[in-house]
Structure 1
Amino acid sequence: MTQTELASDRPRILVVDDSRIVRATVKKHLAASFDIIEEADGEAGWERLMADGTILVLMSDLSMPRLDGFGLLARVRKSSDARIRHTPVIIISGEEDAETKQLAVERGANDFVTKSTDRAEMLARVTAAAKLAKTARDLRASEVNQARTATTEVQTGLATPHMFQLHGEKLMAHALRVHGEATLLVFEIDAYPALCERVGSAVAEQVVSLVAKTVASRLRKEEILARLEGPRFGIFLYADLAGSLRYAERLCEIIAAAKINFKGQPLSVTVSAGVGSATVDQLSEFEPLFSLSLQRLAEAIELGGNRLQAPALPAPALAPIEIHEALALLAEGREEAVRPHLPALLAKLAPLLALAEQAKA
């Protein structure tokens, strides 16, 4: 049975250092005020930080196996997860020179303690960092709560998920009432965490804004574009499935063809998309249609990204043909062109066949 570590009421601090003695010293200084958890290298520390949402402060050595302190710091500051990205990082320094420490500050370190720092100073520094983290986390939670009822997303100016649902329910009800078409398209920038890792979260957000601007400029006034979460967007279209698929395919092509450069190097940006059609999927409410579209988006991402998942287009209705046209086709040897029309043709011939049977009798 795997061991499960329960969080205590005390603020949780993650200490990452390959020296057992250093970890024991830090724990001795802080254990009375904080819940201390430990890892012996940067890779293990990173995995713990991703898995444990209760960690308020990260304390890390610079020289470690597998992943050193600079590598760990870079992952933290480039993370797409705001909780991780804003975690205060205190470097446990040894004999590093001033240039090394300056580099750590430039890469996002918040503070330093030495391996010989006394208990009072270490406690003061870690307490200040924990209070900062708690305040920032509470503020972000408040912002998230406000976003749930807001109608416009601040960065892009697009509709929020709350507004998208309200507007989507209204548009869908109207479309069904007038026997119109309603199609929901959700799409997401492919490999967004990798993009954040490569260029940093600030530049990645600029890419999100560029995609939002590109898509918004191609919508009709009555249609709505929303930023649902991170690199994910939603569009509600007044169009049938065939028209919506043409729009979605063109949209994917435009985004893939966009010329985006970072430090002189081109950035390749693609999107995956999922489509739901009220008519083809036989759904009359927004929520089930939205869920189905998200499911198809997940399938597109699972298949490798840069693709579109949608319901199959219904077969086009056959244009009826007359009996003399069928006979002409048969005379030309085109039997396969006649076969789909046989039920309708036989229905037309039914009175004649009935009369022929009566004549036989």
Structure 2
Amino acid sequence: MSDDGKLPRILVVDDSRMVRASIVKHIRGRFEVREEPDGEAGWEALLVDPGIELVLTDIGMPRLDGYGLLERIRASKVSRVRELPVVIISGDEDESARERALALGANGFIPKGSGSVELLATLSSLVRLAKTQSELERSRAALAQQSAVDPDSGLVTPAYLEHRGTQAVAEARRRQSDIGAMVIGVDQYDELVGRYGDHVAQLVLRKLGKLITGRIRAEDTLSQHATAQFALLSPGIDRVSSCAFALRVRSSVEKLVMAYRDERIRVTLSIGVANAVADGRQAVSELLALAAERAAHASAAGGNRVLGAAGEVDAAEIERELARQPGLDAVLRQVRAGARDEVARQLPGVIAALMPLLELIESQYQVGLPLARLQAIQDKGGDDHDDGEATRTSV
């Protein structure tokens, strides 16, 4: 009996009314029983009755036999159904029938005519095991919500990403700086699972997670956004730097070769990029939603590409924009050489390059630097400018 006083509910599927009545007689008082005459009716019952905790089914039945019902249960996309304990009860005591049932995922096999003691012991132990596994799963989910790190991926949890992102957005507003968001999706992930299995696909995701983690800064935050997606938040990074980094990640993964047995696995990425300044979005959820939408469009367009505010990101154009940004060493040489007018024309870009350093100075010493005014001068300078060579190098 459960903690709330209700008896565990068992679905008994058998085309013989007499067999069903015999089973009910054996387990009355210990379990609540729902009866169905064949596998098709049993399957329909599972879909509409969430209270069922175990399935006890015959093999030979009209419409859908016990093997077919078991296959449907184990292939269900509804975890509640897929993880139900299933016991086969059959008059066929042939060893091959038992082996086939167990291979399809049955939790037990009981010959018809077995006594009530064996039947009750098998059903009770499986129901208890199912309850224990369910409680462990709930506890694990609760711990994952409280922890900053997901135990499966090794990355921060989506909840922590949201929390960290909220802090980063608030800091970006205070400093008048930008924040970049990316959603990085693995192309044709379902095909990868279908060919190599879920275990190998998960190993591929972990490999990609480590690859991306090794290329980001300490202040960046990476999380597994969905089954085959990562989400990245990068404070202080503007549109050009975000797109340049996304292109580098896409290119690195495109060249990556992973070995599995005698096969080589290659994957590609579809990446969506969003920035608070370029896209006019401030909330973390809005940035990530926009980045996810662009990643989906990139995948639908064939994959292995990066989409930003202006559509597909062109690597050559990003290189040209980066090249237009002034190098500080060259600017200082021009100042020392007396070429003040030449430097004056480059000042918006110089301000952009120095902004991360100026923000750090202001945050540490609160000397009253006019960051908002400098940001306005930078924005008025015309071309998009990023946060400078130091920021791009740290990424």
TM-score, normalized by the shorter chain, greater than 0.5: yes
Residue number in structure 1 paired with 2:184 = 187
1:36 paired to 2:61: no
Residues 194-213 of structure 1: pairs in structure 2 closer than 5 A: 195-196=192-193, 198-213=195-210
Match for residue 138 of structure 1? 135
Matched position secondary structure for 1:287: helix
Q: What amino acid maps onto 1:288 in structure 2?
A: E
Q: 1:81 to 1:209 in 2, by over 3 A?
A: farther
Question: CA–CA distance in 2 between the matches of 1:20 and 1:309?
Answer: 61
Which letter maps to 2:182? L
Alignment coverage as a number of residue pairs: 308
Q: Give the Cα separation in 1 of the matches to 2:95 and 2:303.
A: 45
Distance 1:177 1:133, change over 3 A: same
Quote the residue 2:233 is aligned against: 236
Q: 2:162 matched to 1:165?
A: yes
1-structure distance, mates of 2:143, 2:213: 24
Q: In the TM superposition, what is the alpha-carbon distance from 1:73 to its structure 2 partner?
A: 5.2
- Work out which of the residue numbers 86, 91, 94 in structure 2 matches 1:89: 86
Q: Determine the structure 2 residue equivalent to 1:177.
A: 174
Is contact 2:181-2:291 (8 Å) kept?
Answer: yes
CA distance in 2 between counterparts of 1:207 and 1:136 reads: 27
Secondary structure of the structure 1 residue equivalent to 2:34: strand
Name the counterpart of 2:363: none
**Alpha-carbon displacement from aligned partner over 1:223-261 (angstroms, at most 9, x marks no partner):** 111124443321112422233234334434544554345
**Aligned counterpart, 1:275:** 273
Q: Which moved more, 1:167-176 or 1:143-152?
A: 167-176
SS at match of 2:110: strand
Distance 1:269 1:35, change over 3 A: farther
CA contact (8 A) 1:22 1:115 kept: no
Give the C-alpha shift of residue 287 in structure 1.
2.9
- Provide the rounded CA distance (Å) in 2 between the counterparts of 1:269 and 1:105: 35
Secondary structure of the 2:172 match is: helix
SS in 1 for 2:278: coil
CA distance in 2, matches of 1:67, 1:257: 48
Alignment deviations for residues 174-232 of structure 1 (CA, whole Å, 9 cap, x no partner): 23333332111123445656655554443333232222122222222221111244433
Identity %: 31
2:149 corresponding residue in structure 1: 152
3-state SS of 2:273 partner: strand
Which residue pairs with 1:344 in the alignment?
none
Shift of 1:148: 1.0
SS in 2 for 1:170: helix
1:282 is displaced (CA, Å) by 0.9
3-state secondary structure, aligned to 2:170: helix
Amino acid aligned to 2:154 = G
Please tell me whether the aligned partners of residues 254 and 267 of structure 2 are also in contact (alpha carbons under 8 angstroms).
yes
Match of 1:111 among 66, 91, 108: 108
Q: After alignment, is 25-34 or 269-278 more displaced? A: 25-34
Q: Secondary structure at the match of 2:160?
A: helix
**CA distance 1:197–1:16, shift in 2 (3 Å):** farther
Map 1:311-322 to 2 at 5 A: 311-312=309-310
Residues 96, 161 of structure 1: alpha-carbon distance in 2 compared, 3 angstrom cutoff: same
Query: By how many angstroms is 1:299 displaced?
Result: 5.6
**Aligned residue among 220, 224, 236 for 1:223:** 220
Q: String of CA shifts for 1:267-297, please: whole Å, max 9, x gaps.
A: 5645444433211221222233234334445
Tell me which amino acid in the other structure corresponds to 1:184: A
Contact 1:10 1:35 in 2 (8 A): no
Q: Which residue of 2 aligns with 1:289?
A: 287
Change (3 A) 1:81 1:126: same
Q: State the distance in 2 between where 1:78 and 1:38 align.
A: 21
Aligned equivalent of 1:331: none
**Bigger shift: residues 156-165 or 221-230:** 221-230
Task: Assess if the C-alpha contact under 8 Å between 1:184 and 1:293 holds in 2.
Answer: yes
Instruction: Report the more deviating stretch, 206-215 or 53-62.
Output: 53-62
TM-score (normalizing by structure 2): 0.61
User: After alignment, is 290-299 or 76-85 more displaced?
Assistant: 76-85
Which residue in 2 is equivalent to 1:326?
Answer: none
2:133 is matched by which residue type in structure 1? A
In the other structure, the counterpart of 2:373 is none
3-state SS of 1:148 partner: helix
Task: Give unpaired runs (5+ residues) of structure 2.
Answer: 319-323, 325-395
CA–CA distance in structure 1, aligned partners of residues 58 and 248 of structure 2: 50
CA contact (8 A) 2:39 2:68 kept: no
1:146 is displaced (CA, Å) by 1.4
Structure 1 residues 31 and 209: CA distance shift in structure 2, 3 A: farther
CA contact (8 A) 2:12 2:33 kept: no
TM-score, normalised with respect to structure 1: 0.66
Q: 2:152 aligns to what SS in structure 1?
A: coil
Contact 1:256 1:270 in 2 (8 A): yes
Query: RMSD across aligned C-alpha pairs, in angstroms?
Result: 4.3
